[in-house]
Amino acid sequence: MCALHGHIIQAWLYNPLLFSIAVILFVAVVARLVLGRSVKIHLTRSERIIAWILGIIIFSINWAYVICFVR
């Protein structure tokens, strides 16, 4: 709701991971519409495993932040 009301920093402080991913997806969609190109990432098997591990770690840290600091 903060983002819809124009409070961008407060929205990011409430849930940094969700807000950052939303901004990245918005930029990707705008780039796709304007340039007609999409971003594609090709990962090897070991890179995919590392990406999943990092994603789980980042997701866990984000939720720990939300639970501890957002009231």
Report pTM. Answer: 0.71
pLDDT at residue number 42: 94
Residues of the chain with confidence (pLDDT) below 50: none
Instruction: Return the pLDDT at 3.
Output: 72
* Domain ranges across the chain: 8-69
Give pLDDT, residue 52. Answer: 96
Q: What pLDDT score was predicted for residue 39? A: 79
* C-alpha–C-alpha distance, residues 65 and 15, integer Å: 8
All residues at 6 or more sequence positions from 31 whose CB lies less than 8 Å from its CB, including other chains: 37, 38, 39
